[in-house]
Amino acid sequence: MSKWESVIGLEIHVQLLTKSKIFSSSSTMYGKDPNKQASYVDLGMPGTLPVLNKEVIKKAVQFGLAINAEIASKSIFARKNYFYPDLPKNYQISQLDLPIVEGGYIEIKDSNNANKKINITRAHLEEDAGKSIHSNEQNCTFIDLNRAGTPLLEIVSEPEISNANEAVSYMKKIHSIVTYLDISDGNMQEGSFRCDANVSVRKIGDKKLGTRTELKNINSFKFVEKAINYEIKRQIDLLEDGKTIVQETRLYDENKDVTRSMRSKEEANDYRYFPDPDLLPIEIDKKFIEEVKESLPVLPDIKNEFYKSNYNFSDDQISIILGNSYTTNFIDQALSYSKIEPQKVVNYFISSIYAKLNKEKLKLSEGKINAKEFCEILDLIENKNITRKDLKNIIDDIWSGNYDMQNIVEKYSSENSSSETNVDDLIKNIILNNEKQVQQYKSGKTKIIGFFVGQVLKEAKGSDPSIIKDKIINFLDSI
Amino acid sequence: MFDKNKVKDVAKLAMIEIDEEDLEFFSEEIFDFLKLVEQTDSLNLSDVDPLYHAPENTLHAREDIVDENPKNDGINSSPSHNGSHFIVPKVIE
Amino acid sequence: MDIYKKSIIELSRLLQKKELSSLELTKYFLDRIRSFDSKLNSFISINEEASIEQAKLADKLISNNSESLLTGIPVAHKDLFSTKGILTTCASKMLENYYPPFDATVVSKLAKVGMVNIGKTNMDEFAMGSSNETSYFGPVKNPWDLETVPGGSSGGSASAVAARLSPVATGTDTGGSIRQPASFCGLTGLKPTYGTVSRYGMIAYASSLDQGGPIGQSAEDCALLFDEMKGYDNNDPTSNSKFKNEKIKLDLKKQDAKNITIGIPKEYFSSKLDVKILDVLNEAIEIFKKMGFNIKEVSLPDHEYTIPAYYILASAEASSNLSRYDGIKFGHRCDKPKSLEDLYLRTRKEGFGKEVKKRIMIGSYALSSGYYDEYYMRALKIRRIIRDNFMSTFENVDFLFAPTCPSTAFKIGEKSSDAVAMYLSDIYTTPVNLAGLPAVSIPVGFSNNMPVGMQIIGNDFSEGNILRISHLFQQETNWHKQTPKEFDCE
C-alpha cells in the first residue's frame, strides 16, 4: 500500500454554444479563415466596447440549475490583466467576485462503485483567447484571433477528487450535462471542452494539502487520466527522494506522456483583477430563473433510473438515448406514439437512425425526421407493408432530402407489392416446371412443399418463408 | 516608500521600459501623489459600500445575433501582419 | 459679415436662406484655421477633402429642405473620437499613424444630421492632463493670452472655438476636461450625466468617468449640439436608457426663476479660492439673484478627498484600458523587437509620454496585489460618499453653483514641474465626475483680463434645466460674446 494520497481539483472550460461571441456579434463558427471572425471589438480596437450576449447568461443559469447551485441575483465581470499576444486587450474579461454560479455538486462513482459527491465551487463566465501558432522556421509566432471572445463557462470543482479515474468520471459527468443541456457541443478536438487539473499529494492522514501543480489545457479524457497519473507519480517520486514540489504550471506532452514546466508562466502573475468599468452589474431576476428552470429537461441521472426500472433498457441503450437531449426527446416521443414494445423501438432506432448519425457524423437536431414519422415507418414494418431491411434505405432517403414521408411510404410499399407479384410469377414458374413434384404433392406427399419453398427462396432471397409457403399451397391447390 | 526599485517593479507589471535616468522622476512624482492620497487615511470607510458607476444602473444584454456584415478588416491596422495573421516575435511556452 | 462671431442659429438661418452655402462656410473656417492656428496649435489634423465632401452633402440636404439646424455647420472633434479613415491620434505618438476603420457613435450621429467635421483638435495625451501640455503634438495656446494654457484635456477644442476657428466642438470630460478649458477660454461647456452620450468609438481613458459633451460660445449652441450627441446606444454597455431623449427647449422665463433654488456650497466658495475669482463669481451670483432665483448657502463636505480618489480610480482604469497598445494590432511598434517582452517594453516606452506612463504605473500599483484595498477600494468608497453628499444636498436645492477652477488660465510651463499642484487644480470639477452628474461651465467675467467660469451642477439627467438656466443668464450678460482681440477679425 502506498502511504501517499492524491488530491485533485479540476477547472473545466466549456465553450458555450452560442451563435455570436460573448461581447460582440462576430460568429463563433469554428474553422474559418484566420482573423476573419475577429471584429473591431474582438481585436480591442481603441474605442470599442463589449456588449453582453443574453444567451450566455441563460446557458450559465441552465448549468447552475442542473448542478443544484445558487444563481447569483447580481453578478459582475472583472478584468484579469496580463500581457499575452493572443489576448487582444491584454486583459481578459472574466469574473472574480460574484460569479454567476456558486455552489452545487454532481455525483460520480468512486473506485468501489459507490456514489461520491463532488462539490463545485463556482462556475463563471469569461471570454476565450485567440490562438498562437509558433513557427520555428520563421522564428516568429502567428496570432489568429477568431477564437477571441468565444464565450466560456469555467467550472471549478472543490479539491475533492481522489485519483485519475474519479477525475475522468467527474469530467465525463460534466460533459454529459453540458452536452445534454445543449449548452456546449462538447467537442474536445476543437477545444470546446478543456480541462486544467490541480494536482497535489500528501501522506495519508495528513490534513494539510501538499504543494500543487497546475496541468494546463488537457483536451481528452484519456490524456486527463494519463497526465494526472504521471503527475501523481512524479510528485510522489520527488517527495520520496526528499525533494520538494515547486508550485508551477505544467503542460502535458501527449507524445512523450510526461508533464513539463511552462517557462512562460514561471513568474507568479499579479493579475490586478478589478470590476470591468465598461460593464455594469448583471441583474438576474427570480422570474427569469424560474422560466429557465421550467424549460430545463429532466437530467440524465434521473432519466437513467426511469429507463431501467420502467423498460429494463440496457446500459448501452441508455447511454445512446442520453447522448444528448435531442435523442432523449426523440425516444421519449417515439415511446409515447408507438404501440410497438419499447425494446423494439429503441433497437430499431439504434440500428437505423443512430447508426447513420454516428457513421456520417450527422445530428438528429437537423430535424430531418421526427418521432411520429419514425413510428409510422415502424408500424409499416410491423404490418409487413415494408420489410425491416427497407428501414435503412428509408432513413437514407429521408436524409437525402429528396423524399417526404408520403412518397417514401408509396415508394417502398409499391416496391414490395411489385416484388410480391414477382414472387407470384416465380412460384408459378417453378411449380409448372416441376411436374414430377406436383404429382407427388397431388398424391398426398405434402412434405414436398419444402422443396418448392427452397426453390423459391433460392431466387427470392429474404422473403418470408411462411408467406411463400402459403402462396405455394394456394397455387398448388388451384391447379 | 515609492523608491526606484518600486518604480522598476510596477513598470514591469505595466510592461513599460523606464530608463535609469527617469527612475528618480517617476519615483518622486508617484511618491508625492501617494502622499496626497495619505490625506484620506483619516476617513473611516468601513461602513461604506464601493460605488463603481454613477448613476448606478444595470447591464443591458443583446440578443444572440451574428453580424451579417462582419467588420473583419481590423487586421489592416496592424503594424505587423501578413494579411491573415498578426506576427509577433516567437513566444516560448 | 463677421461670420466667425455668429451663433449656430444665425449661421443656420444664412444657410437656409441660401445666403451662404455650407461649402462657403466650411472653406471660410478652413481659411481661418490656416491663418490663425499656427499661433494656437489647436488642431492636430484637418482633412480638407473630407470636410468639403461633407459640406457638399450638407448643401444637398439643405436644397432638399431636409435639414436640421445643425446641417452644414462645421464642428471640430477632439482627436479621441474615432473618425473612419481619418487620422485619430489621441495626441499620442502611440497612435501617430492610426486611421480607425469605423466612426465613433458621436461622429456618425453628427455627420448624419449634416454637420461638417472641420478637423481633429489637440488635447492632452490620452486625455490625461489639465493644461494640454502633455500632447505629443505640442502644447496648445490660449487665444486670450498666447503664453497661457487653454486648459485640458479638451484644450484644442476650447482654443479653436474661442478663436472662432470652428463654431462649436466636441470634447470629453473625465475629471473636468470640458469644463476647465471652457472656463479658461471664456466658453460654455457641458459635461453630461454619465451614460447620456455614447462612449463607443471614444478612445477610453477612464471608462467609468469618461463622458463626451459639447463646447461652444453659448448655452444655446451647446444645447443644439448636445441634442444630437446624446441618446441610448446599443454599442455602449454603459449607455443609459432612463432619460427622455427629447430636444431641449430653452424656454425658461424670468418669472419661473422664483421656483428654482440654487445652492452655494460654502466649502467651494471658501477663502482658499483666489479673491479676484471669488469677486467675479459673487457678482455673477448677484445677477442670478436679481433674475429672481432663490440662492441658498449649503454644505457639501469632503470634496478635498476627491482628488486622491479621482486620480486613483482614473489611473487604475487607464492602466488596464491602455494595455491594448502593445505594438501588435494597431499603433506604434518598436523597431526590430528581440523578443515578445522587448516588443511590449520598448513599444510602450517609445509610444507613451511621461504623464501617461506615470498614470499607468499609479494605476497598476493601486490594483496590484496587497494594495488594492488600500488604494482602489478606498477610492471607490470615497466615490460613494461624494455621490451621497450631492444627493442629500439635492434634497434641499435644485441646482448648485461652484467655481470651475481655483484660478484663471496659468502660464505654459508654470505647473508642469509640480504635478500635485496641477492635479489639485481639478478640485472643483472632479467631484461631478465621481458622482456622474451633469454640469455646465459658463463664462461669468474676467480676472486680470482672463476669463472666469462658473459651474451649474444638477441632478442626474438635468442637462436641459442647467442649460435653460445658463441661457437665461446669457440673455442678461455678454461674457459669452467676447472674442479674444487677436482673433476678432476676418
Reported as a pLDDT band with limits 50, 70 and 90, residue A416 is low
Coil, helix or strand at residue C133: coil
pLDDT bracket for residue A412 (50, 70, 90):
confident
Q: How far is C364 from chain B (nearest CA, A)?
A: 6
Q: What local confidence, expressed as pLDDT, does residue A462 receive?
A: 65
Chain B interface, mutation test: which of A96, A280, A285, A288, most B Cβ atoms within 10 Å? A280
Is C272 annotated as catalytic? no
* pLDDT of the residue at C416: 82
Find chain A residues with C-beta within 8 A of B71's C-beta.
39-40
pLDDT at A151: 98
Give A423's pLDDT tier (boundaries 50, 70, 90): confident
Q: A363: closest CA among A147, A182, A96?
A: A182
C-alpha span between A76 and A362 (Å, rounded): 38
Q: Would the pLDDT of C128 be above 70?
A: yes
Question: Smallest CA–CA separation between A207 and chain C, in Å?
Answer: 28
pLDDT at A234 exceeding the cut of 80 = yes
Q: Residues C7, C153, C183, C218: which is the catalytic one?
A: C153
Q: Identify the pLDDT of residue B40.
A: 94
Residue A120: per-residue pLDDT: 98
pLDDT tens per residue, range C320-330? 999 999 999 99
Task: State whether residue C270 is helix, strand or coil.
Answer: coil
Q: Which of C78, C93, C191, C230 is catalytic?
A: C78
Beta-carbon-side half-sphere exposure of residue A331 (alpha carbons within 13 Å) = 27
pTM: 0.89
Average pLDDT (C421-428) is: 92
Nearest-neighbour CA in chain B from C98: distance (Å): 7
Mean pLDDT across the stretch A178-182? Answer: 91
Burial classification of residue A204, based on how many CB atoms lie within 10 Å of its CB (0-12 exposed, 13-18 middle, 19 or more buried): exposed
Chain B residues 64-83 with CB within 8 Å of chain C: 71, 73-80
Residue B93 is nearest to which of A56, A57, A262, comparing CB atoms?
A: A262
Say how far apart CA C134 and CA C123 lie, in whole Å.
8
The 3-state DSSP class for residue A201 equals: strand
Q: Count Cβ neighbours within 10 Å for each residue of A8-28 and write b for 16 or more, e otherwise.
A: bbbbbbbbbbbebbbbbbbbb
Q: Work out the percent of chain C whose per-residue pLDDT is above 90.
A: 94
Tell me what pLDDT residue A267 has: 57
Q: What pLDDT score was predicted for residue C429? A: 97
Query: Most confidently modeled of A104-113, A339-348, C467-476?
Result: C467-476
Mean pLDDT, chain C, rounded, equals 97
pLDDT of residue B93: 66
Read off the pLDDT of each residue in A328-341 and give the average, rounded to a whole number: 88
Q: C145 vs C91, C184, C454, C472, C483, CA distance in Å?
A: 22, 10, 20, 29, 12
Q: How confident is the model at residue A265 (pLDDT cuts 50, 70, 90)?
A: low
Q: Is A278 on the interface with B (CB under 8 A)?
A: no
Question: Is residue C78 annotated as part of the catalytic site, yes or no?
Answer: yes
Question: Mean pLDDT across the stretch A206-222?
Answer: 91
CB contact under 8 A, A281 and B64: no
Residue A87's pLDDT is 97
Higher pLDDT pick, C72 / B93: C72
Residues belonging to chain C with any Cβ–Cβ distance to chain A shorter than 8 Å: 80-82, 88, 90, 95, 98, 100-102, 104, 199-204, 206-208, 234-238, 316-317, 319-320, 323-324, 326, 328-330, 340, 344, 364, 367-369, 372, 376
Please enumerate in sequence order all residues whose Cβ is within 8 A of that of A184, keeping only pairs 6 or more positions apart, or say none. A14, A15, A16, A17, A153, A178, A192, A193
Asked which of A179-188, A368-377, C8-17, C431-440 is least confident by mean pLDDT, the reply is A368-377
Grid cell digits, residue A24: 460582440
Chain A residue at shortest CA distance from B54 = A280
Identify the bridge partners of residue C171 per DSSP, sorted by sequence position. Answer: C213
Going by pLDDT thresholds of 50, 70 and 90, the confidence category of residue C480 is very high
Which residues, including other chains, have CB under 8 Å from residue C108's CB and lie 6 or more apart?
Answer: none
Burial letters C306-316, b for 16+ CB under 10 A, else e: bbbbbbbbbbb
Confidence of residue A406 (pLDDT cuts 50, 70, 90): confident
Q: Is the pLDDT of residue A124 over 90?
A: yes
CA distance C217 to A69: 58
Active site residue C336: no
Taking contacts as CB-CB distances below 8 angstroms, the residues of chain B near A83 are 15
pLDDT band, very low/low/confident/very high, at B44 (cuts 50, 70, 90): very high
Indicate whether C220 pLDDT > 70: yes
pLDDT tens digit string along C437-447?
999 999 999 99
Residues of chain A with Cβ-Cβ distance to C364 below 8 Å are 272
CA distance C258 to C266: 22
Confidence of residue A283 (pLDDT cuts 50, 70, 90): very high
Rounded to the nearest integer, the mean pLDDT of chain A is: 89
- Residue C296 pLDDT more than 80? yes
CA gap C273, C259 in Å, rounded: 30
C-contacting residues in B 22-41 (Cβ below 8 Å): 22, 25-26, 29-30, 32-33, 36-37, 39-40
Residues 6+ apart with CB under 8 A from C120: C43, C44, C45, C46, C47, C76, C77, C78, C79, C81, C83, C86, C87, C88, C89
Query: Is C323 close to A91, i.e. CB distance below 8 A?
Result: yes
User: Residues near A233 by Cβ (< 8 Å), separated by ≥ 6?
Assistant: none
Task: Tell me the three cell numbers of residue C159.
Answer: 482654443
Q: Name the grid cell of A132.
A: 498562437
Cα separation of A113 and C136, whole Å?
Answer: 70
Look at A259 and C135; give whichever has higher pLDDT: C135
Of residues A354 and A464, the one with the higher pLDDT is: A354
Model confidence at A417: pLDDT above 70: no
What pLDDT score was predicted for residue A219?
87
Least confident span in C362-366, C408-412, C417-421? C417-421
Confidence (pLDDT) at C98: 98
- pLDDT at position A262 is 82
Do residue C101 and residue B36 have CB atoms under 8 angstroms apart?
no
- Summarize pLDDT for A290-299 with one digit per residue, the tens: 999 999 988 8
> Is residue A1's pLDDT more than 70?
no
Of residues A4 and A396, which shows the higher confidence score?
Answer: A4
Residues 104-133 (A) with a CB less than 8 A from some CB of C: none
CA angle A208, A214, A219 (to 5 degrees): 135
Provide CB contacts within 8 A for A256, sequence distance 6+. none
Average pLDDT value for residue range B86-93: 88
* pLDDT greater than 60 at residue A37: yes
Are A89 and C340 in contact (CB < 8 Å)?
A: no
Cross-chain residue pair A277–C207, CB shorter than 8 Å: yes
CA C409 to chain centroid, in Å, comes to 16
For A351, phi then psi, to 5°, come to -75, -20
Instruction: Give me the pLDDT at residue A392, please.
Output: 84
pLDDT score at A414: 58
Asked if pLDDT for residue C359 goes beyond 60, the answer is yes
**pLDDT value for A425:** 79
Q: How confident is the model at residue C71, as a pLDDT?
A: 97
| Number of other CB atoms surrounding residue C157 within 10 Å | 39
Query: Is A20 an interface residue toward C (CB < 8 Å)?
Result: no
Residues of B in contact with C423 (CB under 8 A): 33, 36
Phi, psi of A58 (to 5 degrees): -60, -45
Confidence of residue C222 (pLDDT cuts 50, 70, 90): very high
Which pLDDT does position A428 carry in this prediction? 83
Chains that touch A (3 or more CB pairs under 8 A): B, C
Q: Which of B2, B4, B15, B78 to mutate to test the interface with C (most CBs of C within 10 A)?
A: B15
Contact B90 A283 (CB under 8 A): no
Band the pLDDT of A264: cuts 50, 70, 90: low
Which residues does chain A have within 8 Å of residue B63's beta carbon, measured at their own beta carbons?
A: 53-55
